[in-house]
Structure 1
Amino acid sequence: MRKTLIAGSVAAAVLALPTLSIAQTQNNGFSFVDDAKATLGLRNLYFNGDYREGDGYSKDEEWGQGFMLDFQSGYTQGPIGFGLDVFARSGIRLDSGSRTSKADRSRNPGTMFPLDHDDSAVSEFSQIDFAAKAKVSETELKIGRGLQPSLPVLTRNDGRLLPQTYSGATLTSKEIDNLTLRIGQMDEASGRNSTSHEGLLLGGGSERVNKFQYAGGDAQLGDNLVASYYFAKLKDYYKQHYLGAVHTLDLGAGQLITDLRYFDSGSTGANDSGEAGYAARGVYNDGEVDNRAMSAMFTYKLSNHGLGLGYQKMSGDSDFAYLNNGGGATAYLITDSQINKFERAGEKTWVGQYSYNFADLVPGLKFSAKYLRGSDFDVAPGEGDKEWERNLRLDYTVQQGFLKDLGVSLRHASLRSDADRDQDQVRVYLTYNFVLL
């Protein structure tokens, strides 16, 4: 599978080269290389998930070293500029659990690395993706693999050794001042612990599809307000409207940032017809997507302090709808946290957070704490409907000397839930980026 994937990617790159040569011939200048950017990112991650109750293994514990080469070419000169992006990455196992098929295992592998034929973690996994791109004025088209969207309706996950990526096409236009328009279609995803590309899923479903479409944009309305609208559709699963706004207000000596988000998700295609394999998660929804998610987050920043308070409410009979292929996914919710997402049908969640930048005392050192409490979500008779999570994070970036720009991130989370296994989790990240071009 890996050989087929790499061979197909290389073939795509070769097919793009004649186009680039023609553009070079027809123009006196050539900025494909001159404007290129390349970085090599190093990420060392220790991950420990300690389960406090329930049956099965008691711990996820793995350690690895990741390498990420991100090359972004410039564009050929002329009315239409052409370019090529390359995203190559590799993960090396330093330590892991035994085998997922071992009945009495204490550590479970697979959270950071793919599993081998004997159900143990592989010693190394790698992948290289290519995306062709074209640009006219302020409008850019990208087609290929290795795409890493960051949108309200589609956000890649980057919580482990290597990031999740997508394949498809995106079009971004900034032709109108203060307005960014985006449309796109994704057909496959590659997980953060995978070397292959697979069709797309909604959490709860088992049938993969090859089409996720979105359209929308962000408008800068004055100096202090950004408003966003997006529409998305996952074939045979759900359609979704998103409306959001972020407002910044000078208040006293600091700033008040208001973040408002609203999602309206409904069924479509096979999910709407109740076909087997296309179900959405939910206790009383019979598999049909039916969810509204409304949230408000208020953050006050004063000097080096940040204090936030938020509230989120789910309504409808299904859990929040978002693209989730398994193996790790991110939902654009104020409650998406280190372990849990608080996205269950009917769930009401309060969020409190605090951050402090030690710039005046220890430059490069930052601390943040977050607490979430959810309740009233749909449960089967006799089960509880409460859960909470606490996140603590300490980040430091070396400011000078031989190790300048080396990043260290310590993250601890505790989850206590009536619906999931209680868990304590520790992550330790060491990161460094080499600028190659």
Structure 2
Amino acid sequence: MLKPQQLTLALLINAALISTVYASEQSEAKGFVEDADGSVLFRTGYINRDKKQGDDQSSYAQTAIVKLDSGYTKGIVGFGVGAVGDGSFKLGSNNNHANEMIPSHNDGSAYDHWARGGANVKARISNTEVRYGTQVLDLPVLASNTARLVPEYFEGVLATSREINGLELTAGKFTKDQMSHQINTDGNHLDRAVVWGAKYKFSDALNASYYGLDSKNALDRHYVNANYKQALANGSSLTWDVSGYHTEFDKDASTYSYTTAANPEDRKNNIWAISSTYNQGPHNVMLAYQQNSGNVGYDYGQNADGFQSIYLPNSYLSDFVGNHEKSAQVQYNLDFGKLGVPGLNWTTAFVYGWDIKTSADTEAQEREFFNQVKYTVQSGFAKDASLRVRNSYYRASDSYQRNTYIGDTNEWRLFLDIPVKLF
């Protein structure tokens, strides 16, 4: 496998060789200041997890998430800088920090207020960009958790190249991982994570992707995906999506699922899913099937491999990724915008998982009933402000709960987002 320095160099050489053939983003650069972008997202977040076994986990806090990004300087090679960060405080007494919302002191008490963040530098030649520093990642094998109050931050280098029409290449190396509720910039003790991948748009209807991750002393992970949208009569459509992961855990990796592997270095699994979504006007109906095989669950996040690195359909409060688990889902989504109420959207889903292997059972099960309503303001002074209300009703076999998974839970999440553009 190529080293990260070689991967990055290869992308830059690729850009230099064909920059005269394809349209260049860098040739259209307006300048360091002229193309600058800055915004603040004011977020009020509330998560209430009523554990039915007696553990109430509720968190309520306010934050301001700042993102600043300069433009690129003009020339063959453009340079720029950026910064991301957040400043937060808890609301009310709110001493609970069990939902990865609020950081805690060494004595276990919750922070009253806190701030985090970092800077990055970037360079661009033709349609290839290299960025080094603190970043929020969105890769299937290394994705920052953005479902809490503030995002998860990674520190390292990431190169992205779009020199060939329809093809995007990615390569990077990261050495720090800071979870949403952590003050320490390397709270997850990441040694080294090397990522690489490609996605290609064959046509407006068909696209595919592959990504890989090598996390030192933790795991090797590979992801594939193919998505095809088929146009039908009367403006309707049918979308097929197939995706899957192959993971091999190192002997020192942390896995929270029950494993049937005789030796820690033998832990591995394959998890895949297929879904079909029918769209007709404001209505979307999805059916999905997901299956895990191997000798351990698809465990992610605990090895500093991104707390949102699960690009699979059966993922809500539970991800339905237990050892040997099979799961099926039916989802319905209604876009009220096409019914005269723009900005309003409702999603409901039911997922059932079975054949989960635990230390006490080979046929444990879990199920979740999920609902989410989101409204986004379409115009006026509050344009793009949104309110999202989400509820999950989750139940599982006693044997699965004893294996330290979620446990019977009723969960509410409320997030009010107010974005403000600075420049």
Q: TM above 0.5, one fold?
A: yes
- For residues 347-378 of structure 1, give each alpha carbon's deviation from its aligned partner in whole angstroms, at most 9, with x where no partner exists: 10101100001112322111001111111121
Judged with a 3 Å threshold, the aligned counterparts in structure 2 of structure 1 residues 247 and 214 are, in CA distance, closer, same or farther, namely same
Letter in 1 for 2:181: N
Separation in 2, partners of 1:65, 1:401: 24
Question: Which structure 1 residue ranges, 5 or more long, are not aligned?
Answer: 1-28, 99-106, 201-207
Letter in 1 for 2:330: G
Identity of aligned residues (%): 27
- 1:323 is displaced (CA, Å) by 3.9
Say which of 410, 415, 428 aligns to 2:414: 428
Residue 300 of structure 1 corresponds to 278
User: Aligned ranges for residues 357-396 of structure 1 at < 5 Å?
Assistant: 357-359=335-337, 360-382=339-361, 385-396=364-375
Q: CA RMSD in A?
A: 2.1
Judged with a 3 Å threshold, the aligned counterparts in structure 2 of structure 1 residues 80 and 313 are, in CA distance, closer, same or farther, namely same
Say which of 250, 253, 258 aligns to 1:282: 258
- Are 2:61 and 2:91, in contact at CA under 8 Å, matched by a contact in 1? yes
Letter in 2 for 1:178: G
Letter in 1 for 2:345: K
- Are 2:48 and 2:58, in contact at CA under 8 Å, matched by a contact in 1? yes
Judged with a 3 Å threshold, the aligned counterparts in structure 2 of structure 1 residues 149 and 33 are, in CA distance, closer, same or farther, namely same
Separation in 1, partners of 2:334, 2:93: 34
- 1:402 is displaced (CA, Å) by 4.5
Residue 241 of structure 2 corresponds to 259
Separation in 2, partners of 1:261, 1:30: 39
Range with bigger deviation, 325-334 or 123-132: 325-334
Residue 79 of structure 1 corresponds to 76
- Are 1:296 and 1:310, in contact at CA under 8 Å, matched by a contact in 2? yes
- 1:316 is displaced (CA, Å) by 0.4
- For residues 264-310 of structure 1, give each alpha carbon's deviation from its aligned partner in whole angstroms, at most 9, with x where no partner exists: 2224xxx2xx4xx4353432124333101111011111100110000
1:156 pairs with 2:144: yes
TM-score by length of 1: 0.83
- For residues 312-355 of structure 1, give each alpha carbon's deviation from its aligned partner in whole angstroms, at most 9, with x where no partner exists: 11010021153435898223242453321111121101011000
Separation in 1, partners of 2:278, 2:108: 48
TM-score by length of 2: 0.85
Say which of 66, 74, 92 aligns to 2:89: 92
User: Aligned ranges for residues 29-428 of structure 1 at < 5 Å?
Assistant: 31-53=31-53, 58-98=55-95, 111-145=100-134, 147-198=135-186, 200=188, 208-253=189-234, 254-267=236-249, 271=250, 274=251, 277-280=252-255, 281-285=257-261, 286-287=263-264, 288-325=266-303, 329-335=307-313, 337-359=315-337, 360-382=339-361, 385-418=364-397, 419-420=400-401, 421-428=407-414
- 1:118 is displaced (CA, Å) by 3.9
- 1:139 is displaced (CA, Å) by 0.3
Judged with a 3 Å threshold, the aligned counterparts in structure 2 of structure 1 residues 404 and 230 are, in CA distance, closer, same or farther, namely closer
Question: Which structure 2 residue ranges, 5 or more long, are not aligned?
Answer: 1-28, 402-406
Q: Secondary structure at the match of 1:122?
A: coil
- For residues 89-122 of structure 1, give each alpha carbon's deviation from its aligned partner in whole angstroms, at most 9, with x where no partner exists: 1111103544xxxxxxxx6656311112442211
Separation in 2, partners of 1:327, 1:217: 19
- 1:155 is displaced (CA, Å) by 1.3
Residue 21 of structure 1 corresponds to none
- 1:384 is displaced (CA, Å) by 5.4
Range with bigger deviation, 256-265 or 29-38: 29-38
Letter in 2 for 1:263: Y
Range with bigger deviation, 354-363 or 297-306: 354-363
- 1:391 is displaced (CA, Å) by 1.1
Range with bigger deviation, 64-73 or 326-335: 326-335
Letter in 1 for 2:238: L
Letter in 2 for 1:68: I
Residue 23 of structure 1 corresponds to none
Letter in 1 for 2:253: Y
Judged with a 3 Å threshold, the aligned counterparts in structure 2 of structure 1 residues 333 and 180 are, in CA distance, closer, same or farther, namely closer
- 1:46 is displaced (CA, Å) by 1.5
- Are 1:284 and 1:317, in contact at CA under 8 Å, matched by a contact in 2? yes
Judged with a 3 Å threshold, the aligned counterparts in structure 2 of structure 1 residues 400 and 75 are, in CA distance, closer, same or farther, namely closer
Letter in 1 for 2:318: N
